[in-house]
Amino acid sequence: MAQNKFRLIKEDEETCARLGQLRTAHGVVNTPIFMPVGTRATVKTCSPRTLIEMGTEIILGNTYHLYLRPGHQIIQRAGGLHKFMGWKKPILTDSGGFQVFSLGERRKITEKGVEFQSGIDGSKHMISPERAIEIQNALGADVIMTFDECPAHTTDREYIEKSMHMTLRWAKRCKETHKNANQLLFGIIQGGFFHDLRRESAEKTVEMGFPGYAIGGLSVGEEKELMYQTVAYTAPLLPKEKPRYLMGVGTPQDLVYSVSCGIDMFDCVMPTRNARNGSLFTSTGTVKIRNAKYRSDFTPLDPNCNCYTCQNFTSAYLRHLDSENEMLGHHLKTVHNLHFYISLMRGIRQSIKIGTFSKLKNDIPMLFQTGQNRSVADSA
């Protein structure tokens, strides 16, 4: 197994927030970090150059989708995912577990793995723990994930416990299969919202000895408070000297709260998906650009933002592009939202460094509740 690649630089004095660095085969990632989601080998509407310009350090790819199309063999022949998509910085790939389990009646779970029908052409496939590692080895991501089951939050305790134990067995099979020292294989903690199951999952996964650990099974429709309680309980169970990744979360408030619990890495489709649907994060709160009041608003979307969109275009123009469903509009909105997230994480890191994180933690929820005119940079 690869040596510890994570360096803990500083811990906040008032919370569990941490400043760190993760060394990968394609560069260093400063944590806490947000990873834009590039599901199909592309962050929607954004070129690699655009992502680099806004300060993106690492992106996420999706094993399930890339396995189905174009196929991991094609990507391997192209020289790996980095060369295939023209991205020279680190990449994390998930194992595809969440996607295959979200297929409902089109999948069957067994100890061997998951049999499922493709959402593209209905063809039948099987992804086992060994297969998930084989695919991710071929993709060549810097950080890869064990294969896990992500049960629904409404599932009863008996099933959650059974599922958690199977995820543990699958994690062991993943570790035994993984041989590429250039790729960091992270274990995933499951257990639903039962604290004793989360503890058992954490203890037994940590015993296997992974370079990093992820908290899975959250942001699947549960109440916000329940998610927060689970994050706050689970994060301290993970080794201090290893990176902690919260999968699929979330809003700016979610990120700030989870950082305060000791989480280092995040991914979520929210900034890109919300952008395409006209919901934009700003230093004065959330803007619904489709509202009629923006039709003749000739000011920047966010006066406190230095992204390309805000420096060159008005809210009226963004609303016009959105109304016409123009591709440029999707691009400009996505650029802004991702820039907001990247800048937020940069501000969080700076606040931990200089000892003002608690102030930022208090300001962010108030910002989105009241729409106060305050910049994230000022909060840092």
- Provide the annotated active-site residues: 94, 267
Query: Of 271, 111, 96, which is closest to residue 188 (Cα–Cα)?
Result: 96
Measured CA to CA, the distance from residue 170 to residue 190 in angstroms comes to 12
Query: What are 7's two structure tokens?
Result: 């360096």
Number of residues that make up the chain: 380
221: left (phi over 0), alpha (psi -120 to 50) or beta: left
Query: What are 201's two structure tokens?
Result: 């999952």
Name, in order, each residue with C-beta under 8 angstroms of 343's C-beta and a sequence gap of 6 or more.
55, 305, 376, 377
Measured CA to CA, the distance from residue 378 to residue 113 in angstroms comes to 49
Q: Residue 275: how many CB atoms within 10 A of its CB?
A: 27
Query: What are 113's two structure tokens?
Result: 């793995």
Rg of the chain in Å (alpha carbons): 20
| CA 320 to the chain's CA centroid | 31
Query: What are 9's two structure tokens?
Result: 């630089």
178: left (phi over 0), alpha (psi -120 to 50) or beta: beta
Q: Residue 324: how many CB atoms within 10 A of its CB?
A: 10
Q: Is 231 exposed, middle or buried (0-12, 13-18, 19+ CB in 10 A)?
A: buried
Query: What are 126's two structure tokens?
Result: 């099987």
Query: Of 149, 156, 61, 65, which is closest to residue 101 (Cα–Cα)?
Result: 149
Do residues 29 and 66 lie in contact, with contact meaning Cβ atoms separated by under 8 Å?
Answer: no
Query: Of 208, 219, 141, which is closest to residue 170 (Cα–Cα)?
Result: 208
CA dist list (Å): 269 to 59, 247, 281: 11, 11, 14
DSSP-derived 3-state class of residue 189: strand
